[in-house]
A and B are shown apart, each in its own frame.
Chain A
């Protein structure tokens, strides 16, 4: 179980469409404020790395102190980004795959505008449950 984790989904136009602080209590409160800033900064690496590999799971694309950024790039170039201090790479990958399936279900909703913010509470509950399960 990761102590600190921040999960966001970035749309294909580089705008976050979902944000969640998952994991247990933060160790240092000052660093928690920087979680989304660190994930945003990691896009500098992802935008180059995503086109040089065929893998969807990009592990450890960026590192900040003891926090690591892992990214999962979908076929539509939506990026699932996780800031964590866990070394359980298999769990992180499974977490990404499960959330990806949830995201596909969101996309299948005809009333959902692709690229807009995901405001479904059901989606939020599911993501947090998956975080507790895998991270």
Chain B
């Protein structure tokens, strides 16, 4: 598009000429440029330069008149015509830069309204202007410049001025330049008048030429095209895009009709002229459509343009001219699409266009047109090369055609001749023209243009995310670089295409690209790349068959057709090159590579390498777990998709444990000097009778290795040696995790398994686990029953050697809380200790063993309360060592004891592995004794305790004791364990001094000062009675703790006692306002009366009223009040006395008495035990003894 002149690339702008008053021209011109649309201005300082405008016209006329004899003399057409071409080259430029639409004459006001001499000068200038512009129909504007707004204006002179200039009154303007506001207003008025007159001029000119079209359309197509073009340009001047587009299209159609009908020029030049003008017209049409936002119409028009002219080839000998023209059409349209904003709009549908033409999606993007522009330029290059090769005369064309230049008319060429000062243009023949075009074509570097346009297309498609289109462009760029003998750049773009075709599995396309890449590597002297690309090619599946008949029609790349024979020939070429022997060095010199006998070639194949089909290594261990020092079998399977069998010299199998590496040597191959260097000393060497890789068949090899080191044993890679200098290293794969080869995945072939065993083929792994050495030392944990909370539980640990000597032995002891608490219900006993850990290791005693080993025992390293580390002394074979682990429970819960012994079976060898033995034991901690207590109030003495009637809101379930009364405390201890315990002592001790002063606790009488110990069988309960007399009134009285001393029954007599403490609950001590006590003899005698008294004691300061009621009893005869209300005075006692006579013998219930306190609404009822009495039939014997002593 840059080749086009500027007047063709940009829309035309109106042109005005300014005469006189030069000081105003700058501001007026600047203001006109800022208008929309802008207006161009030609500035003439004074009226004496009117001849310059005329001179331009005369010069043009002179040129035309000079042309006439030439055209007449050369014209041989039967149809007489006045014109020598279709479009004049400078017509558009003339109307944009030389021929104005209107002329503005500036006169100062004093010249018009002043003295007659100046008025005559004004008239003379106007007459000169009119004589020049009238034949061209150019408009005229007269501007009167005023210096001040108050100048006198003569109406007579103004009328005379209008008559002289033959103008309407609105085209005589007044320009005031003294005041800024007036200046702006004047400028605006001036611009408005200029635009209106210019519009009128261009409209009249268009209408004038349109009348010519209507009258003379049947005479000449040349003139018709010219007139349509002019009308379109005038419409563009007026910004009438619709009419401009219409007439451009009319010109295009008329021009197309001239093909084959015009005989004015020789054949080749005639067609060239038509095509060049068609190109310009189409450019105008496309520009107008795209600027109007009509993308679909523009693409459709381009399609019609291409369709109209792609068959108009012209001379087949010079067909490169046609391809050059076609390429330029696509290039210009691509650049228009890029610069236009219409491409930004979204496409509603990708299948637009008319019913006849169906447009594809990519035809709306510049990349498509760049690609095809490059394609047509490639055709031009081929045609030109063909022409140069066929014609010997064309090769001699050099600078003899330099004098040929474009002619006056568009699309025509002429020869410049100088005769004196005059320059004449002579027509040329077709032969001269073709010489000129060939010399021009030879100067242009077409390949660089092709590459540039294809790169733009590649980048554009890449941005559109059309990767396949981008790969196609990359392939074409690479081929062009390849033809230019630039292998570096070619290889870069071939790699781009190969990556996509390899990724998508398009084998046919990949074969072509790899063929080119092979040649690039050959030209770059890159041996490794050459071998890699060649091997990748031959390992591809076959996509072409030689028996099909379409091979002879195709033109293949350097790789040739992708047939079996093609692959085999490349295979032989590569392996002859890399696997050559010393004797064949001379015969392979012709391959083009610089052979160096001491430079090895090494290829690496991993899981994502494209060379994976060349050598695929699968390793499967037969067992997942093996013992150390034991033979372990595995199967090595190799697969190759190369078309011919490949013989391997030797294989090196590499493991992560390098001591397991070994070499498989082909016994039929000679032993190279360098091969022995790769075999390490001490490595295992195996001999195989045959190491040949047959195409598409697994080569299965089964071997056994021995590993002395525990841990993971993994096969890493397999190294294949082919000849003295060529090695292929393939990464080992597991059959279970082996992926399919992408390019071979969809081939219709028989699937074979890497191993004969189907289970190994599905689950085989290339790694196995080597166990640790078998331990021959026994660790035993001797538990002796459940542990009891509070004692030091002894756990013997015995280490016994049963085959291994123990060197550097180390015991790790760990206590772990048992998880899953649901299995063990939590104990309700309260903790005795405030330790953060409920179970801890107290220590370890190494008491047993001989004296020598005992002295070597190290001290325990107590890291935590639940972890310990003990050194084990050296043990010979058969010896044993033991220690005692002391564990203390603070809370009843089960724990897991983990003991781990690590030792070296051989102390002298440094690389010997450590052997570990693990033992675990669950030990449950239990409470030995369950302690409970309860209170008993005094016998037959009821106290009114207010806390029992209305408990306080904050009080819990707290026992209440009366103040200064003797209560009985019964403490029980029950053996909850499964073994017999010996209870040594039980006592109550106060926690602080306050308890001693506020409470008096004594042991029960009758036990003596030294209580004896008690033996408790499992489940047996021991009870002890204490008396408690609270002396201080307090809601919470602490009674201290119960201290027990106990030990296991039958244990060592020297064993210390275990002390267990149990805290007694707090009690509430309060004074009782009323006390009711029953007074009766301990027994009764049948028939004898006795006194039954009820004492009511008031211990308050208030009068207490009590209502009592006595029920009758059948066993007694009663005398006394049955019910009454008594008043008890403060601090006094009231006695109710009854006489009772027993009537029956045995245990009898006394009459029940009920006492109700009116103040406290409390009722006293003696219990059944308190209301019972035993009736003897006669006086007992003891009674007589007592009576006798009295």
Q: Are A49 and B746 in contact (CB under 8 A)?
A: no
* Alpha-carbon distance between A37 and B468 when the two chains are bound, in angstroms: 9
21 pairs of residues in contact across A and B, judged by CB atoms under 8 Å: A13-B505, A15-B504, A16-B508, A19-B543, A25-B553, A29-B553, A33-B555, A40-B504, A41-B468, A41-B469, A41-B471, A41-B472, A43-B468, A44-B466, A44-B468, A60-B358, A61-B360, A62-B360, A63-B360, A64-B372, A116-B747
Q: Which residues of B are found within 8 Å of A78, using beta-carbon distances?
A: none
Contact yes or no, A40 B550, CB < 8 A: no
Please determine whether B362 and A62 come into contact, CB atoms closer than 8 angstroms. yes
* A40:B360 contact, CB within 8 angstroms: no
Instruction: Using A113-B748, A117-B541 as known contacts, say yes or no to A124 and B358 having CB atoms under 8 A apart.
Output: no
Residues of A within 8 A of B1070 (CB): none
Q: Which of B469, B544, B746 contacts A44 (CB 8 A)?
A: B469
Which A residues are CB-close (under 8 A) to B362?
45, 62
Q: A41–B746 Cα gap in the complex (Å)?
A: 21
Closest to B378 in A: A30
Kindly supply a per-residue 1/0 record for chain B positions 340-353, scoring 1 wherever the CB is within 8 Å of any chain A CB and 0 otherwise.
00000000001100
Contacts of A66 in B (CB 8 A): 310
User: How many A-B residue pairs lie within 8 Å, measured between CB atoms?
Assistant: 110
The CA of A103 and the CA of B466, in the complex, are separated in Å by 29
Q: Which residues of B contact A43 (CB under 8 A)?
A: 468
Instruction: Give Cα A34–Cα B544 distance, bound, in whole angstroms.
Output: 16
Given contacts A33-B555, A117-B541, A112 and B748 within 8 Å (CB-CB): yes
Residue of A nearest to B743 (CB): A15
**Chain A residue nearest to B543 in the complex (CB):** A19
Q: B362-397, CB under 8 A of A: which get 1 and which 0?
A: 110000000010011011001000000000000000
- The answer, among B466, B471, B472, B548, for a CB contact under 8 Å with A124, is B548
Question: Is B467 an interface residue, CB under 8 A from the partner?
Answer: yes
Residues of A within 8 A of B748 (CB): 112-113, 116-119
Q: Are B746 and A116 in contact (CB under 8 A)?
A: yes
Given the complex of chains A and B, what is the CA–CA distance between A22 and B361 in angstroms?
26
Q: Does A100 contact B (CB under 8 A)?
A: no
**Structural contact, A15 and B505, CB atoms closer than 8 A:** yes
Which residues of A in the span 1-43 have a Cβ within 8 Å of any Cβ on B? 11, 13-17, 19-22, 25-26, 28-30, 32-34, 36-38, 40-43
Whether the Cβ atoms of B372 and A65 lie closer than 8 Å is yes
Chain B contact patch, size range:
35 or more
Q: Is A115 an interface residue (CB 8 A)?
A: yes
A130 to chain B, nearest CB (A): 15
B31 to chain A, nearest CB (A): 51
* B82: Cβ under 8 A from any A Cβ: no
- Return chain A residues, CB-CB under 8 Å to B358: 59-60
Within 8 Å CB of B948, what residues of A? none
Task: Known A-B contacts: A29-B555, A44-B468, A117-B541. Give 9 more (CB < 8 A).
Answer: A15-B505, A25-B553, A26-B554, A40-B501, A40-B506, A45-B350, A62-B360, A62-B362, A124-B548
Q: What CA separation (Å) do A40 and B550 show in the bound complex? A: 19
Other-chain residue from A32, A38, A49, A64 in contact with B554 (beta carbon distance below 8 A): A32
Chain A CB within 8 A of B66 CB: no
Within the complex, the shortest CB–CB distance from B864 to chain A, in Å, comes to: 61
Report the nearest A residue to B552, measured CB to CB.
Answer: A25
Listed in ascending order, the chain A residues whose CB lies under 8 Å from chain B are 11, 13-17, 19-22, 25-26, 28-30, 32-34, 36-38, 40-45, 48-49, 52, 59-66, 112-113, 115-119, 124
Given A45-B361, A117-B746: A36 touches B509 (CB 8 Å cut-off): yes
B475 within 8 A of A: yes
B746–A11 contact, CB under 8 A?
yes
Contact, CB under 8 Å: B543 / A40: no
| Residue B556, interface by CB 8 Å | yes
User: Closest CB-CB distance, B655 to chain A, in whole Å?
Assistant: 37
CB distance from A9 to the nearest CB of B (A): 12
Contact with A along B471-515 (1 / 0, CB 8 A): 110011000000000000000000000000100111111001000
Check: B557 CB closer than 8 A to any chain A CB.
Answer: yes
Taking each of B358, B467, B541, B544, which has the highest tally of chain A beta carbons within 10 Å of its own beta carbon? B358
Cα A84 to Cα B544 in complex, Å, equals: 21
CA–CA, A13 and B742, complex, Å: 11
How far in angstroms is the closest Cβ of chain A from B486? 19
Q: Are B747 and A117 interface neighbours, CB within 8 A?
A: yes
Instruction: Determine the distance from Cα of A28 to Cα of B505 in the docked complex, in whole angstroms.
Output: 28
A41 to B476, CA, bound (A): 12
Contacts of B557 in A (CB 8 A): 33
B506 to chain A minimum Cβ distance, whole angstroms, is 6
Give the complex CA separation of A20 and B466 in angstroms. 25
Can you list, as one digit per residue, whether each of B228-267 has a CB less than 8 Å from chain A (1) or not (0)?
0000000000000000000000000000000000000000
User: Complex: how many Å from CA A61 to CA B468?
Assistant: 14
Chain B nearest Cβ from A85, distance in angstroms: 12
* Chain B residues within 8 Å of A37, by CB: 472, 475, 509, 512
Q: Which residue from chain B places its CB closest to the CB of A52 in the assembled complex?
A: B350
Q: How far is the CA of A65 from the CA of B146 in the complex (A)?
A: 67
CB distance B553 to A19 under 8 Å? Answer: no
Contacts of A14 in B (CB 8 A): 504-505
Mark each residue of chain B from 287 to 320: 1 if its CB lies under 8 Å from any CB of chain A, else 0. Answer: 0000000000000000000000010000000000
Q: Known contacts A11-B746, A19-B543; is A33 also within 8 Å of B512 by CB?
A: yes
A19, B501: Cα distance in complex, Å: 16
- Which of B310, B351, B746 is within 8 Å of A113, CB to CB? B746
In whole angstroms, how far apart are the Cα atoms of A64 and B379 in the complex? 14
- Tell me if A20 and B468 are in contact (CB < 8 A): no
Binary contact track B545-577/A, C-beta < 8 Å → 1, others 0: 000101001111100000000000000000000
Chain B residue with minimal CB distance to A47? B468
Closest Cβ–Cβ distance, residue B892 to chain A (whole Å): 68
* Chain A minimum-CB-distance residue to B508: A36
Which residues of B lie under 8 Å from residue A30 when comparing CB positions? 378, 382, 555
CA distance A23 to B746 in the complex (A): 28
Distance between Cα atoms of A22 and B376 in the complex (Å)? 24
**Distance between Cα atoms of A25 and B555 in the complex (Å):** 12
A43, B504: Cα distance in complex, Å: 12
With a cutoff of 8 Å between Cβ atoms, the chain B residues found around residue A36 in the complex are 506, 508-509
* Residue of chain B at shortest CB distance from A30: B555
Name which residue of chain A comes closest to B513, CB basis: A37
Residue of B nearest to A111 (CB): B748
Binary CB contact string for chain B from 708 to 749 against chain A (1 if under 8 A, 0 otherwise): 000000000000000000000000000000000000001110
User: Which residues of chain A are near B360, meaning CB under 8 Å?
Assistant: 45, 60-63
Chain B residues in 8 Å Cβ range of A45? 350, 360-362
CB <8 Å contact, A13 and B746: yes
Contact A65 B375, beta carbon cutoff 8 Å: yes
Give the complex CA separation of A36 and B471 in angstroms: 12
Choose one: B361, B469, B506; the contact of A49 (CB below 8 Å).
B361
Chain A residues contacting B376 (CB-CB under 8 Å) are 65
Among A16, A20, A37, A124, find the residue whose CB has the most chain B CB atoms closer than 10 A: A37
**Which B residue's beta carbon lies closest to that of A29?**
B555
A33-B557, A37-B509, A49-B350 known; A15 and B746 CB under 8 Å? Answer: yes
Using known A-B contacts A13-B746, A15-B504, determine if residue A40 contacts B548 with beta carbons closer than 8 Å: no
Contacts of B504 in A (CB 8 A): 14-15, 40
Interchain nearest-CB distance for A97 vs B (Å): 20
Within 8 A of A (CB), among B983-1031: none
Chain B residues 505 to 535 lying within 8 A of chain A, measured CB to CB, are 505-509, 512
Q: Tell me the complex Cα distance, A60–B382, Å.
A: 28
Least CB distance from A37 to B in Å reads: 5
Most A CB contacts (10 A, CB to CB) among B504, B508, B746 go to B746
- In angstroms, Cα B351 to Cα A80, docked, is 19
Chain A residues near B501 (CB-CB < 8 A): 40
Across the A-B interface, the 8 shortest Cβ-Cβ residue pairs: A21-B550, A29-B555, A44-B466, A41-B472, A60-B358, A15-B505, A116-B748, A116-B746
> Taking A41-B468, A41-B472, A60-B358 as contacts, is the C-beta distance between A16 and B506 under 8 angstroms?
yes
Q: A40 touching B509 by the CB < 8 A rule?
A: yes
Distance in Å from the Cβ of B993 to the closest Cβ of chain A? 94
Q: Would A19 and B508 be within 8 Å (CB), given that A30-B555, A64-B372, A112-B748 are in contact?
A: yes
